[in-house]
Structure 1
Amino acid sequence: MTWSFPIGTLLGSELRVHATFFLLLAWIGAAAWLAGGPVAAAMNILFILVLFACVVAHEFGHALMARRYGIRTPDITLLPIGGMARLERMPEKPAQEIAVALAGPAVNVVIWAVLVFVIGVDTSVEALLAIEDPREGFWARVAVVNLFLVLFNMLPAFPMDGGRVLRALLAMRMPREKATLIAARGGQAMAFVFGFLGLMTGNPLLILIAVFVFIAGMAESSHVAMQEFGRHQGVRDAMITSFEWLREDSTLHEAANTLIRTTQHEFPVLDAGGRPVGFLTRRDLYAALAEDVPRMREIRGVIDREVPMVHVGAPLNEAIEAMQRTGSTAVGVVGPSGALIGYITHENIGELMVVSGRG
């Protein structure tokens, strides 16, 4: 995800923080400082950090359950509105998807139960009324917020956990694509409710959640439609075969000239035998050109060598899953000899869908 950066790795997943998360901390800290001084600011920031530690635990609940079904979680990103675990793919068996979806809220239930029944945190009305007193209300807030996270995430608003459970239950009785569409539309309807409440109450967080739910629901629906389409098409049907390519020893100057005379966003980089060694993306080329380095420098240092490759005879769905798994913008297509004969992007899959009447 853009505007996010890694802070470490835990249990095989990279932890990332979105830049706007620090804006949230600054806003909460400043508001608390103005209202109650530096101690209040410190306690409120500490509370947010503890809360987001619970959010990370929630996301690892999803990740560890998904791992049981052979699905990796490359990274988990902290956002101002919560966390997002990026799974390589969602399990297609409804029972497995339900298990993965419920694993996150289950972690929050465990945290709440430990605080209340093991540590003995008082979550009575009287204790919650003293919530501004750090000595009285801190852990009560943590317990109550974990319970709130369970209830909120279980709302049937796709792509939240409750929406995924709803989609899985529907998929037991109808095609997955149709189940996703119904769950996504339900989520978008709930997004309008969140947005309306946010505007009426002046709550920017509700508005932000509404936008996220609406856009994420659309994206998931489109992705499932693309996967379903890919099951019935071959890589050969969607690949780009007319393209400019570069050599590993091509210079930034040569790459820039190629960029100017084409409309490509990705440039395959081939070795002397025509076999792919990676791709040079337009974004990486721009970044390299912005540096104060000689334009005759070779591009080998800015090549993305992790771009996946698929065989020309593979189903299109294999290319779609490879892009989702790696986060790559393109997939190379190789022939029987291992030479690159084309490549596929999300954009040209979308164009194929439109041409085929599925867009």
Structure 2
Amino acid sequence: MNPTLRDSGALGMAWTVARVGGIDIRIHVTFVLLLAWFALVSAAQTRSLVGTLVGVAFVVLVFVCVVLHELGHAFAARRYGVRTRDITLLPIGGVARLQRMPTSPRAEIVIALAGPAVNLAIALALAAVLSAAGVPLLALPDGEASLLQSLFTVNLMLALFNLTPAFPMDGGRVLRAALALRKGWVSATTTAARIGQAIAVVFAIVGIFVNPLLVLIAIFVWFGAAMEAADARLREALGNVPLAHVLIRDFRALAPDDPLARAVELTLTGTQKDFPVLRDGRLVGLLTQRALLDALRAYGEAAAVAEAMQRRFPRAALRDSLDDVWRAMRNGDDHLVPVLDDDRLVGLVDVDNLIELARIRAALDRRAP
């Protein structure tokens, strides 16, 4: 497959370089910078082309193991009917974007443990190869065995690190799911987030005296835990609210043949930023503000809306729960979801409206008696 560069919202610009089991494997542009940095470091340390190539090859093999880790999550999720949109390689590791999170705590435990299990399986396979070759697992022999020994160590560390009981690592999700077996989902998430942030404090303190990298990991863990807790509170606030109650029914739509100038006009004269695209009353696309700006730069105002609109996007049925719509938005980086009733567009759900609803409900829950 030819690499294609596209914008993926929060994950930024990335190349799609492969497709495995129906899942796009993508490389973030910053990962390329990481490879370049490792090439420079290897060249400075070894002062040889072979040494430089070995250093880069090691990084590539490590990230192949990371991809396999994420595929472990993806294939485990598939067992529970959860699709994986794509896997993106970042300098800090891999990110598998699941279409939704499982509602069953037991399913979340299986999905979360599948990734570290893959790394343990790789480590065991490498240990068997090294043992058969008579090479000590923790020794540093010359040549190819050194590369295999390093990969053994890395996979062991990846498995153990990801089992740390702190969000957003796999161990944090296992902890939350285990707690959810005995208490509510929100309460379990809050408790797991607090434990994760306590671990982050320990990482930061140790990192100050031992390794500054632990400080960066501590920051990553702290904010990851905070985001999980905030998302859980938002989902609780949206619970039991009918989708029809937050439906935006007063909206403007575009036709595929409309010029982009029409979208610009509606944007400047109103508050709507994203627009459904209808042909003969049927929903055929969605024009987001980001796509509009990209198309204006590339084609100008005279280009047709059809040139810029998305043809693949999440949709909701009027009978769907608000929580399902929020999860679709969160996992897909979508800000607007059209709502259909028997294939007829009846309204829109906007992420800003959901956040405002959560704030209003939180304020009402805290009102003085």
Instruction: Give the TM-score, by structure 2 length.
Output: 0.87
Indicate if the aligned counterparts of 2:237 and 2:361 stay in contact, CA closer than 8 A. Answer: no
1:200-226 CA-partner distances (Å, limit 9, x unpaired): 5564x4444333323332333333333
Q: What SS does the corresponding residue of 1:357 show, helix, strand or coil?
A: helix
Q: Are 2:331 and 1:331 aligned?
A: no
**Structure 2 CA distance, aligned partners of 1:136 and 1:237?**
63
**Structure 1 CA distance, aligned partners of 2:83 and 2:319?**
26
Q: Are 2:286 and 1:279 aligned?
A: yes
Q: What's the offset of the Cα at 1:55?
A: 1.0
Q: What's the offset of the Cα at 1:195?
A: 4.1
* Of 140, 144, 156, the match for 2:153: 144
Cα distance change on mapping 1:5 and 1:184 into 2, 3 Å: farther
Cα distance change on mapping 1:326 and 1:124 into 2, 3 Å: closer
Residues 209-248 of structure 1 aligned to structure 2 (within 5 Å):
209-248=217-256
Indicate if the aligned counterparts of 2:204 and 2:214 stay in contact, CA closer than 8 A. Answer: yes
* Of 12, 29, 32, the match for 2:42: 32
**Structure 1 CA distance, aligned partners of 2:211 and 2:122?**
31
* Of 108, 117, 121, the match for 1:97: 108
1:79-117 CA-partner distances (Å, limit 9, x unpaired): 111111111222222222111111111111111111112
**Structure 1 CA distance, aligned partners of 2:214 and 2:143?**
26
**Structure 1 CA distance, aligned partners of 2:249 and 2:176?**
37
Q: What SS does the corresponding residue of 1:243 show, helix, strand or coil?
A: coil
Q: What's the offset of the Cα at 1:62?
A: 1.1
Q: Are 2:350 and 1:351 aligned?
A: no
Q: What's the offset of the Cα at 1:136?
A: 4.5
Q: Are 2:307 and 1:301 aligned?
A: yes
* Of 331, 341, 359, the match for 2:346: 341
Structure 2 unaligned blocks of 5 or more: 1-10
1:55 aligned residue: 66
* Of 282, 289, 292, the match for 2:296: 289
Q: Are 2:128 and 1:117 aligned?
A: yes
Residues 181-220 of structure 1 aligned to structure 2 (within 5 Å):
181-200=190-209, 203=212, 205-220=213-228
Q: What's the offset of the Cα at 1:327?
A: 4.2
> What amino acid maps onto 1:260 in structure 2?
L
Q: What's the offset of the Cα at 1:331?
A: 0.9
Task: Report the RMSD for the aligned CA atoms in angstroms.
Answer: 2.3
1:178 aligned residue: 187
**Structure 2 CA distance, aligned partners of 1:177 and 1:21?**
35
2:271 aligned residue: 263
Q: What's the offset of the Cα at 1:310?
A: 2.3
Q: Are 2:98 and 1:87 aligned?
A: yes
1:312 aligned residue: 318
> What amino acid maps onto 2:233 in structure 1?
A
Misfit runs of 4+, over 6 Å: none
Indicate if the aligned counterparts of 1:43 and 1:134 stay in contact, CA closer than 8 A. Answer: no
**Structure 1 CA distance, aligned partners of 2:176 and 2:57?**
36
1:293-337 CA-partner distances (Å, limit 9, x unpaired): 35222111211122333233432123224334654321112345x
2:13 aligned residue: 3
**Percent of aligned pairs sharing the same letter:** 39
2:3 aligned residue: none
**Structure 1 CA distance, aligned partners of 2:272 and 2:210?**
46
Q: What SS does the corresponding residue of 1:306 show, helix, strand or coil?
A: coil
**Structure 2 CA distance, aligned partners of 1:11 and 1:324?**
23
Indicate if the aligned counterparts of 1:230 and 1:315 stay in contact, CA closer than 8 A. Answer: no
> What amino acid maps onto 2:17 in structure 1?
I
> What amino acid maps onto 1:46 in structure 2?
A
> Which range is displaced more, 316-325 or 58-67?
316-325
> What amino acid maps onto 2:292 in structure 1?
L
Q: What SS does the corresponding residue of 2:188 show, helix, strand or coil?
A: helix
Indicate if the aligned counterparts of 2:100 and 2:328 stay in contact, CA closer than 8 A. Answer: no
1:56-95 CA-partner distances (Å, limit 9, x unpaired): 1111111111111111111111111111111122222222
> What amino acid maps onto 1:62 in structure 2?
H
**Structure 1 CA distance, aligned partners of 2:34 and 2:338?**
40
Q: What's the offset of the Cα at 1:262?
A: 2.4
Indicate if the aligned counterparts of 2:246 and 2:349 stay in contact, CA closer than 8 A. Answer: yes
Instruction: Give the TM-score, by structure 1 length.
Output: 0.90
**Structure 2 CA distance, aligned partners of 1:146 and 1:25?**
19
